[in-house]
Amino acid sequence: MSILLRSGDDGYDEARKVWNGAIDRRPAAIARVTSAADVAQALRFARDQGLEVTVRGGGHSVAGLAVQDDAMMIDLSAMRHVHVDPQAKTATVGGGALLSDLDRATQEYGLATTGGVVSHTGVGGLTLGGGIGHLMRRFGLTVDNLLAAELVTANGDRLDVDAEREPELFWGLRGGGGNFGVVTKFTYRLHEVGPTVLGGPVFWPLTDAPKVLAALVEYAQVAPDELSLGFTVRYAPPAPFLAPEHHGKAVVGLLLVWTGDPAAGEAAMAPLRHFGTPVGDGVRPQPYTAIQSMLDASSPHGAHYYWRAHRLPTLTIDDIDTFVAAIESSTSPMSHVVGLAVGGAVSRVDAEATAVGPREPGFEANVVAAWQPGEDPEPHRKWVRAQSESLRPRVFGLWSHFLSDEGADGVRLAYQGRMDRLTLLKDRYDPHNVFRFNANIAPARRGSGQSRAANGRHPE
């Protein structure tokens, strides 16, 4: 292992921090690794010491699964290298890299792959859970662009995994989360994108939300794949394109991103940009990296977070009413509802091709509570649960990288009919459930390492 930190060591307290400031846990040890060999050594050390194992990539899980009390954290954050092959249009990326690392390196060549909407998200958790983003309607999910992975299994074996070598494991990695080992390297297919794209937010008063979101639903059915369609219901930020009197007021917004020909993009966005009477329009040509970091300010490190995610077949009147009521009853000005239209290339991939799901056209809608340190968390969490309960009758799925504290029910909703196939993989590669702090798939053959976490319930 490159570095092993324990409580009291210089760097320990910084290393145990994750994005969600509500998470304050103290691992028994933190192994800061730089290679697959280091990971294998850390796993042996944890086994010899009788320690449970967690894995940190970007540390962006809302449940803080990367860090647990009295466990061994395998910290990949030093493994942030990105190698771009512009001729082959591929990028090979370390397991601890952030999306900003990937985007910055690939954009030097005018290339990109589907990768999230917040730039300080880790590539590992995003990829293994499926991977949404502004490019997904055009190029598919992140897993649809994954070509290969380097994996260290629970017993320390290093495997090169792709469609030719270990094809079944390759299927499982694309959506099955971190259940089968530690991915120390990803190789992605890249596409010509940027460096300048057309995009940005458009805002209307909250009272216009029913009409604006209904227009979004209708347009999403015919929108070109090059157009990413996001929405939010929130308190307006102090954006320069918004008049000061609208700052801090409840609004509905659309986040539009066009990655094709700019002139065609102006025409494609026009039906939504000119709908009704917007109070602010921030759509403009800008660097793709700026689009990728546009939502960073709404998700700062150290704030406290709790959320629930929902896959909806459409946005009904009841859904929209829930979003509006959520903001009107919000317990924090930082809280919001955010979502993306799903369809295009995502939905054209065979549902059996990867472990991720669901792929049907519809909308991803996340209810996000965010608040300042020191506040009582329970009112904020109760607010999220209330909105989620209102949406629940229409929810038909979930992507595993958005799981919060839904426990085994959430895991089953995420994997649905893929559970049996994924369980067979778990039995083969991690029969003792060493990798259990995730959207956990419990082995069918219960090994000696089984614990309370193995049923998919995430410790609080």
Q: What is the pLDDT of residue 1?
A: 58
When pLDDT is averaged across residues 114-129 and rounded to a whole number, the result is: 96
Q: What is the pLDDT of residue 262?
A: 87
Residue among 413, 429, 292 nearest 358 (CA): 413
Q: H or E segment at 46?
A: helix 36-49
Q: Which two tokens stand for residue 421?
A: 């196939």
Contact partners, residue 173, CB within 8 Å, separation at least 6: 128, 143, 146, 149, 151, 161, 180, 183, 355
Q: What is the pLDDT of residue 337?
A: 97
Q: What is the pLDDT of residue 357?
A: 83
Tell me the CB-side half-sphere exposure of residue 34, using CA atoms within 13 A. 5
When pLDDT is averaged across residues 165-192 and rounded to a whole number, the result is: 97
**pLDDT tens, residue by residue, 335-380:** 999 999 999 999 999 999 999 988 999 999 999 999 999 999 999 9
Residue 445 and residue 305: Cα distance in Å, rounded?
A: 35
Inter-residue contact 202 to 282 (CB < 8 Å): yes
When pLDDT is averaged across residues 179-197 and rounded to a whole number, the result is: 97
Q: What is the pLDDT of residue 263?
A: 87
**pLDDT tens, residue by residue, 23-45:** 999 999 999 999 999 999 999 99
Q: What is the pLDDT of residue 2?
A: 77
What Rg value do the Cα atoms of the chain yield, rounded? 21
Tell me what the pLDDT averaged over the chain comes to: 94
Residue 117 and residue 133: Cα distance in Å, rounded?
A: 6
Residue 104 and residue 106: Cα distance in Å, rounded?
A: 6
Q: What is the pLDDT of residue 446?
A: 59
| Domains contained in the chain, CATH given | 3-75 (3.30.43.10), 82-192 (3.30.465.10), 196-407 (3.40.462.20)
Q: What burial class does residue 251 get, using C-beta atoms within 10 Å of its C-beta: 0-12 exposed, 13-18 middle, 19+ buried?
A: buried
Q: What percent of the chain has pLDDT over 70?
A: 97
**pLDDT tens, residue by residue, 269-318:** 999 999 999 999 999 999 999 999 999 999 999 999 999 999 999 999 99
Q: What percent of the chain has pLDDT over 90?
A: 93
Inter-residue contact 190 to 163 (CB < 8 Å): no
Residue among 131, 141, 17, 20 nearest 73 (CA): 17
> Is the pLDDT at 454 greater than 70, yes or no?
no
Residue 351 DSSP class:
T
What does the angle CA 447 – CA 456 – CA 373 come to, to the nearest 5 degrees?
Answer: 130
pLDDT grade for 146, boundaries at 50, 70 and 90: very high
**pLDDT tens, residue by residue, 389-426:** 999 999 999 899 999 999 999 999 999 999 999 999 99
When pLDDT is averaged across residues 102-124 and rounded to a whole number, the result is: 97
Q: What is the pLDDT of residue 432?
A: 96
Residue among 351, 355, 349, 348 nearest 418 (CA): 355
Residue among 411, 405, 382, 412 nearest 458 (CA): 405
> Is the pLDDT at 453 greater than 60, yes or no?
no
> Is the pLDDT at 452 greater than 80, yes or no?
no
Q: What is the pLDDT of residue 290?
A: 96
When pLDDT is averaged across residues 417-444 and rounded to a whole number, the result is: 96
> Is the pLDDT at 457 greater than 80, yes or no?
no
Residue 453 DSSP class:
G
> Is the pLDDT at 449 greater than 60, yes or no?
no
pTM of the model: 0.93
Q: Which two tokens stand for residue 148?
A: 């290969």
Inter-residue contact 335 to 369 (CB < 8 Å): yes
